[in-house]
Structure 1
Amino acid sequence: MNQSFDFEVLNSKVVPMGKCNVFEGSWIHDDSYPLYDASQCPFAERGFNCIANGRRDRGYTKWRWKPKNCDVPRFDARRILEQLRGKRVVFVGDSLSRTQWESLICLLMTGVEDKKSVYEIKGNRITKQIRFLGVRFSTFDLRIDFYRSVFLVKPGPAPKHSPQRIKTTLRLDKIDDISHEWIDSDVLIFNSGHWWTRTKLFDMGWYFQVGSSVKLGMTINSAYNTALHTWASWVENSVNTNRTRVFFRTFESSHWSGKNHNACKVTRNPWKRSNGKERSHISDMINRVVRNMSVPVRVLHVTPMSSYRSDGHVGTWSDNPSVPDCSHWCLPGVPDMWNEILFSYLLPKLM
């Protein structure tokens, strides 16, 4: 898999499809959606298959994103599989990245005649904690991989003589140890953001470290910005961007509500207004860091489009209905559109 990928050469600014910004638009009802049946896709994990978990309304599967001044090409699985022949696509990030990975596999499987020719490389059952998942489309010599790296930078033990409350540190100046496995890819899609919260860091005894110094007073925003610069430096120095097309997907809007943002109300239809969720400080930092990189990286700025989709979340239709979920997305659903947009960049000849 050492041939070059004949894709469009991209710059690092968010100016998709010529003069059209594909991320400015609205959701329109389209009865031709969804593009696949999750019950026919063994790689859609049960926790995201809302219909299998009892959701009766299927309206959330019938929405298509329509940019103001152009159209996103409809996903043509067979033609895309042919274009991806002999390639390796890698997703890196948290569970939202895993959802997009599953979505892409399910979309591509609609173009495969022999479903048994698509299989999990290591025979692993898809779980929330596993560090690597890979699916091979053997007829096309194609791999679609997922690496779980929720922070992108390296977790490590607390230095000796650290305060007792420090259980683990995030080495903000070091990329994750598994990063060497990402390099040999033709398409590389990152995301990180949902784990950068007090409850998942400080409350669990995770603090930040740069060099040998633990930064007890460092804010989460500052730490995230530092980690992004470490990631950017790694891409600039380690990834051959003449071969590998690099993307970073921005923060996907959650729709928690209530005073403590612990209530989860999944609506039947998308919101008509974004209600302030079209902006995210995490997404702003991603855009700013990528804009200043010296190599071509494309931002998939999905924050605004995701902000309307209060209807697309898992809610109580998961494999654990006692814990409502207004962060993750049902499959089929919103992540399918991220992949349609992704391939509108990768395969301009299909437009």
Structure 2
Amino acid sequence: MAMQARLRFDVGVMLEKLRGKRVVFVGDSLSRTQWESMICMLMNGVDDKKSVYEVNGNKISKKIRYLGVRFSTHNFTIEFYRSVFLVKIGSVPKRSPKRVRSTIKLDELDGISSKWINSDILVFNTGHWWNRAKLFEIGCYFKVGGRLKLGMSTLDAYTTALNTWASWVESMIDTDRTRVFFRTFEGSHWSGPNGHTCEVTKMPTFGSKSEYRSHFSDIIKKVVNNMAVPVTAMHVTPMGSFRSDAHVGTWSDNPTVPDCSHWCLPGVPDAWNEILFSYL
């Protein structure tokens, strides 16, 4: 699929297809990477580079919740909204155990979701923050209907959150206008006890150590397949398993802490966009 998309990609054609459109990416840092990749790919077809600019004059930052780049000569924008869970961060109920410091409201979408509605292409992802180390160890637990769910597993919580997202799409998005995509989970190549070793290789591998399935990706596909409106699940999980060479690794701001979660650019995220373009 990725190779077919690569053969089809024509930057001039895509710039014309996006003329007058609004492309919106929603998710975590991997969504931001795909956003960056698309901008770089399309910039290759723009003669006047100064005609492409960030609408608020912002520099790309992990902390900024909104970034938008405008291609003024073709009258379209490519935007990114940082929403790592897609659902809302909530308060701690009274008389909660001391270990509870924050909550995730699984039955309510992120408060900035109203800004995603009037788009032509809408691409979601979430998954990398849904793990015990990033949640329970920092005192973040799940909440449904205003009640804590201390015994709920991350996979059950993820399923509940995605069903909340699906209901929102069904009720709030005009799918006659907006093409909706959900990119599946991108696994990392951490290994060893608790994933302390980043296995970055010099070349792509010719066989993954397993089928490289992801429970998160399985949930995404199941939820999307059960939706009452057309949504495309971009299942990119298996192809990423062969690209242990494409991670940031030690080529980061802090080389003492290898990064096996994010991808270098140009690289794997370009293939995600080539697949996305092939759908369009």
Tell me the TM-score normalised to structure 2 length: 0.98
- Structure 1 stretches lacking a partner, 5+ long: 1-21, 23-64, 347-351
Identical amino acids, percent of aligned pairs: 66
1:107 aligns to 2:28 (yes or no): no
Query: Relative contact order: is structure 1 or structure 2 higher (C-alpha 8 Å, sep ≥ 6)?
Result: 1
Q: What is the DSSP-based 3-state SS (H/G/I as helix, E as strand, rest coil) of the residue aligned with 1:199?
A: helix
Relative to structure 2, which stretch is displaced further, 250-259 or 85-94? 250-259
Shift of residue 75 of structure 1? 2.2
- In the alignment, does 2:110 pair up with 1:168? no
- Which residue, out of 128, 151, 157, partners 2:85? 151
Shift of 1:295: 0.2
Deviation sequence 1:60-84 (CA, Å, 0-9, x none): xxxxx43xxx564342112111111
Partner residue in 2 for 1:340? 274
Aligned: 1:90 with 2:16:
no
Amino acid at match of 1:132: Y
Equivalent residue letter for 1:343: F
> What is the DSSP-based 3-state SS (H/G/I as helix, E as strand, rest coil) of the residue aligned with 2:195?
coil
Which residue identity does 1:252 align to in structure 2? E
Partner of 1:124: 58
1:271 aligned residue: 205
Q: Is the 8 A contact 1:315 1:325 kept in 2?
A: yes
SS at match of 2:271: helix
Match among 256, 274, 284 for residue 218 of structure 2: 284
Q: What is the RMSD computed on CA atoms of the aligned residues?
A: 1.1
Assess if the C-alpha contact under 8 Å between 1:232 and 1:290 holds in 2: yes
Which letter does structure 2 place at the counterpart of 1:199? Answer: A
Size of the alignment, in residue pairs? Answer: 280
**SS at structure 2 position matched to 1:139:** coil
Distance 1:137 1:93 in 2: 22
Quote the Cα distance in structure 2 between the aligned partners of 1:259 and 1:172.
30
Specify the code of the residue in structure 2 equivalent to 1:109: M
Q: 1:235 to 1:71 in 2, by over 3 A?
A: closer
> Which residue number in structure 2 is paired with residue 58 of structure 1?
none
| 2:5 and 2:275 in contact (8 A); partners too | no
1:185: how far off? 0.3
Structure 1 residue 265 displacement after superposition: 2.2
State the match for 1:328 in structure 2: 262
**Partners in 1 of 2:98 and 2:55 — Cα distance?**
41
Q: Which runs of 5+ in 2 are unaligned?
A: none
C-alpha contact 1:73 1:344 (8 A) present in aligned 2: no
1:42-62 Cα deviation digits (max 9, x unpaired)? xxxxxxxxxxxxxxxxxxxxx
Q: Partner of 1:28 in structure 2?
A: none
- Counterparts of 1:193 and 1:288, CA distance in 2: 15
1:302 alignment counterpart: 236
